[in-house]
């Protein structure tokens, strides 16, 4: 059973991130345990692809092993987490289910434990749970659950701006919640904060991270009409682009109408001859 003190700490941590908190008035401070917790945005930063991590099957390899071909969704968790980390992975799994993108085909999921004490066996157990929960057979190769040394973890978390602290009194970590979309080359492309990731928003993030090499024409239109807001980690409508698209659509319809009318007049004239 989770101790009340750490439950409260983790629930508070769930709602904090690296972005400014407008509700935090001057003079108010976070609890000491949470002062060094957050998600600082490092858009464009490249993660250290040469540091070593170990996959759930016990294979140790450079982080770049799981990059290069497809965009990557990175989730930083620890497998023994009693509350927040399962919520992050549940949220990710739920967001991926309705999408017609498949892990291992259009993108990869890389889950990394930031607790250097955890083992590949713990990673394998977590992978089995969430791959089964995802429920799409044949995609197992696109899910990678990793563990690593403290040095490797520090290098990766610093690159993406993920800050966390360890509380020895309760043997738990205080941390925030979110996932990161990275390009095939390992560059940070998008952040999605919290534990609830709208599938449309996550899909657009993957399309952008892939440099529009995946997705459909509908995705391209949506990316024209919606703009990524780094302050909130969401996509917001761009009024001017929507107006422009609407004007182009109106012109196209008018042109089609005139073309149809012109053809009708020609047919009528030919019938009269």
Q: How far apart are CA 169 and CA 161, in angstroms?
A: 25
| pLDDT of the residue at 237 | 55
| Domain extent listing, the chain | 4-211, 248-273
Distance of CA 8 to the CA centre of its chain: 26
Number of neighbouring beta carbons within 10 Å of residue 210: 19
From the number of C-beta atoms within 10 Å of its C-beta (0-12, 13-18, 19+), residue 52 rates as middle
- The whole-model pTM stands at 0.72
pLDDT of residue 23: 42
CB atoms within 10 A of CB 94: 15
Which two three-digit tokens encode residue 45? 């930063």
Check residue 220 and give its pLDDT: 47
Q: DSSP of 204-216, one letter per residue? A: HHHHHHTTTSSS-
Which stretches in the chain have pLDDT values below 50?
Answer: 1-27, 30, 215-224, 238-249, 251-252
Q: Output the pLDDT for position 170.
A: 85
Nearest to 125 by CA among 70, 65, 186, 56: 56
Q: How far is CA 204 from CA 37, 132, 144, in A?
A: 28, 25, 22
Per-residue model confidence (pLDDT) at position 224: 43
Q: What angle do CA 142, 131, 81 make, to 5 degrees?
A: 110
Q: Look at the block and give the residue holding tokens 């004239």.
A: 269
Is 4-211 a CATH 3.40.30.10 domain?
Answer: yes
């Amino acid at each position: 059973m989770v101790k009340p003190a750490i439950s409260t700490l983790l629930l508070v941590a769930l709602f904090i991130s690296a972005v400014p908190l407008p509700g935090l008035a001057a003079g108010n401070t976070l609890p000491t345990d949470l002062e060094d917790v957050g998600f600082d945005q490092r858009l464009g930063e490249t993660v250290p692809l040469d540091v070593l991590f170990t996959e759930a099957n016990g294979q140790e390899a450079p982080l770049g092993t799981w990059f290069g071909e497809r965009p990557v969704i990175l989730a930083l968790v620890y497998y023994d987490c009693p509350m927040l980390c399962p919520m992050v992975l549940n949220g990710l799994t739920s967001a991926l289910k309705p999408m017609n993108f498949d892990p291992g085909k259009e993108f990869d999921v890389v889950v990394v434990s930031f607790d250097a004490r955890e083992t590949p066996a713990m990673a394998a157990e977590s992978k089995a749970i969430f791959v089964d929960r995802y429920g799409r057979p044949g995609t197992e190769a696109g899910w990678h659950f990793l563990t690593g040394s403290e040095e490797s973890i520090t290098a990766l978390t610093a690159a993406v701006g993920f800050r966390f602290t360890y509380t020895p009194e309760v043997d738990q970590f205080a941390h925030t919640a979110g996932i990161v979309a990275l390009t095939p080359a390992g560059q940070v492309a998008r952040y999605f904060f919290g534990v609830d990731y709208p599938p449309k928003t996550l899909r657009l993030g993957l399309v952008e991270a892939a440099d529009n090499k995946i997705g459909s024409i509908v995705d391209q239109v949506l990316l024209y009409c919606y703009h990524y807001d780094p302050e909130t980690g969401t996509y917001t409508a761009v009024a001017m682009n929507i107006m422009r698209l609407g004007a182009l659509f109106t012109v196209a319809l008018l042109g089609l109408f005139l073309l149809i009318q012109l053809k009708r007049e020609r047919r009528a004239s030919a019938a009269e001859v």
